[in-house]
Amino acid sequence: MSTITLRRAAYAAGGAIALTLTLGITGAVAEPANPECIAPAQPGGGFDITCKLAQASLAQSGALTEMMRVSYMPGGIGAVAFNTIVGQRRNEPGTIVAFSGGSLLNLAQGKFGEYDADAVRWVASTGTDYGAAVVAADSPWQSLSDMMEAIKADPTSVIIGAGGTIGSQDWMKAALTAQAAGVDHTAMRFVAFEGGGECATALQGGHVNVCMGDVGESQGAIDGGAPLRLLAIYSAERLNGSLAEVPTAKEQGYDIEWPIMRGFYVGPEVSDEDYTFWAQAFEKAMADPGYAALLEERNLQPLPLTGEELQATVAERVATYRELASGFGLVQE
Q: With bands split at pLDDT 50, 70 and 90, how would you rate the model's confidence at 2?
A: very low
Please write the tens of the pLDDT for every residue from 128-156: 999 999 999 999 999 999 999 999 999 88
- Provide the percentage of residues in the chain whose pLDDT is more than 70: 91
Residue 309 lies in a domain: yes
Last residue of a domain, one of 189, 220, 245: 245
User: What value, to the nearest 5°, has the Cα angle with vertex 26 and ends 25 and 28?
Assistant: 125
CA distance 212 to 163: 8
What is the model's pLDDT at position 19?
42
What length does the chain have? 333
* Between 6 and 297, residue with greater pLDDT: 297
Distances (CA, A) of 142 to 158, 191, 207: 15, 22, 19
Enclosing domain of residue 21: 15-129+259-327
CATH number at residue 84: 3.40.190.150
Range 283-299 average pLDDT? 97
Q: Is it the case that residue 46 has pLDDT exceeding 60? A: yes
CA 221 to chain centre: 16
Range 218-240 average pLDDT? 94
Q: How many domains does the chain have?
A: 2
Q: How many CA atoms lie within 13 A of 48 on its CB side?
A: 18
Please write the tens of the pLDDT for every residue from 51-68: 999 999 999 999 999 999
Q: Contact, 295 vs 243, CB < 8 A?
A: no
pTM: 0.87
Q: Contact, 235 vs 220, CB < 8 A?
A: no
Residues 108 and 160 in one domain: no
The overall average pLDDT reported for the chain is 90
Q: Contact, 53 vs 300, CB < 8 A?
A: yes
What is the model's pLDDT at position 115?
93
CATH number at residue 148: 3.40.190.10
Residue 58 lies in a domain: yes
Residue 168 lies in a domain: yes
What is the model's pLDDT at position 6?
54
What is the model's pLDDT at position 26?
45
Amino acid at 316: E
* Between 249 and 198, residue with greater pLDDT: 249
- Which residues does 162 contact at the CB level (< 8 Å), separation at least 6? 168, 170, 171, 173, 174, 190, 191, 192, 193, 199, 211, 212, 213
What is the model's pLDDT at position 197?
81
CA 197 to chain centre: 13
- Which residues does 66 contact at the CB level (< 8 Å), separation at least 6? 31, 33, 34, 35
* Count of CB atoms situated within 10 Å of the CB of 206: 10
Residues 230 and 285 in one domain: no
Please write the tens of the pLDDT for every residue from 304-318: 999 889 999 999 999
Range 94-119 average pLDDT? 95
Q: With bands split at pLDDT 50, 70 and 90, how would you rate the model's confidence at 162?
A: confident
What is the model's pLDDT at position 27?
52
Residues 181 and 222 in one domain: yes
Is residue 37 within a helix (H) or strand (E), and if so which, with residue range? strand 36-39
Which residue(s) pair with 233 in the sheet? 132, 248
What is the model's pLDDT at position 17?
34
